[in-house]
Amino acid sequence: MWWRSASFILDKNDSFLRDDSETRLLSPPPSSSMAQTLDPNLTISPYYQTRAAHHGVVTSDWLAQAHAAAGRDTATPSSEPEASLNSIGSDNSFSVIDEFNNWRKQPDLAEAVAAIRALASVIRSSQATTMMELQNELKTASDSLKSWDMTSISLTAGCDLFMRYVTRTSAVEYEDFDSAKSRFLERAEKFGEISYKARKIIAMLGQDFIFDGCTILVHGFSRVVLELLKTAAENRKHFRVLCTEGRPDRTGLRLSNELAKLDVPVKLLIDSAVAYSMDEIDMVFVGADGVVESGGIINMMGTYQISLVAKSMDKPVYVAAESYKFARLYPLNQKDMVPALRPIDFGVPIPSKVEVETSARDYTPPQYLTLLFTDLGVLTPSVVSDELIQLYL
């Protein structure tokens, strides 16, 4: 697809040739835009940028405040979409993406919830009088959302889930259009609650597996895993946590901050020290950006590496993910996904002819995972495809 061939020399020559032809017309473009001229799809992933922005600012106090604010916001959701609509008029696709961005900025809100809230705003503002019309509008909005950020799996999964719910419900029961519409809106509003409850359920299920005196390795800053560890700490379990540094997002620093507040003994490791410490580790906990059909997960770069080491040393790898992250993807290898790039700052300037691997995520195949904790219960990786089949086929 993109850079899979081993003939990277030929590819480079191609890029230099193209670059040369452009320099005759313009001054030499900077290195970041070179990537963009090669392939317009290889842009910085907005999903990972948003997460980085969250990490830079988020603390647990701020999270609590934001959550309280979100709770107040749900009582009066109509003010925001109306404002954006009045300014833009009937151009729905614009308002959907703006809506989505507004919701997404709240750090405690999951991607899928933001997506569903944005779609709910489409329903609210829709002038449709028949079910077909409404479904078409929703489909357009959902497609535009998905194409705006193709790298975010929970966004795609959330949109698909809501679209599936709309098409299935309307065909079966309600003869009255208005009651159906209000039903959709109510469910979309409730979805935020479900997502919050989902984290609680997962925390309750997962903390059973933490026994006294165990050592846990955590990679990446997952709000679900944090909730899980919080619940275990509240249940008076004595355990300690090793956090990977999580370059370049410094997720480990964030997480260790939070855990120190809970009085949980934390130790920071550089990413390369995982295999060195794997002996003393009893289990690995990670979150997931998306759970794919094979039962594997897509998560922050480094998860695959850690799972490989854990598997080779016979340590269980537990994944905490909400069920709406299940996506209809089936990656066959690491490059078989939409590339999600994140600029990496090494702190020192790098010579321009040195390439940097900027992918933000990797794919961990199901055979390296032990169990998935979801709000549907504790699942083995083989159950995921069953759930997806039940829903989509």
> Which residues are at the interface with other proteins (CB under 8 A)?
161-162, 165, 169, 172-176, 179, 183, 186-187, 190-191, 194, 208-209, 211, 323-324, 326, 371, 375-380, 382-383, 386-388, 390-391
Name which of 226 and 379 has its Cβ closer to other proteins. Answer: 379
Q: What is the nearest approach in angstroms of other proteins to the Cβ of residue 253?
A: 30
Q: What is the nearest approach in angstroms of other proteins to the Cβ of residue 119?
A: 12
Tokens of 268: 């920071």
Measuring CA to CA, how many Å separate 59 from each of 140, 200, 206, 258, 259?
36, 19, 23, 7, 11
d(CA 387, CA 361): 24
Name which of 91 and 314 has its Cβ closer to other proteins. Answer: 314
Q: What is the nearest approach in angstroms of other proteins to the Cβ of residue 121?
A: 17
Name which of 20 and 208 has its Cβ closer to other proteins. Answer: 208
Q: What is the nearest approach in angstroms of other proteins to the Cβ of residue 301?
A: 27
Name which of 78 and 179 has its Cβ closer to other proteins. Answer: 179
Note whether 2 and 340 are within 8 A (CB).
no
Q: What is the nearest approach in angstroms of other proteins to the Cβ of residue 113?
A: 12
Backbone angles phi, psi at 217, to 5 degrees: -105, 130
Name which of 4 and 168 has its Cβ closer to other proteins. Answer: 168
Name which of 244 and 323 has its Cβ closer to other proteins. Answer: 323
Q: What is the nearest approach in angstroms of other proteins to the Cβ of residue 327?
A: 11
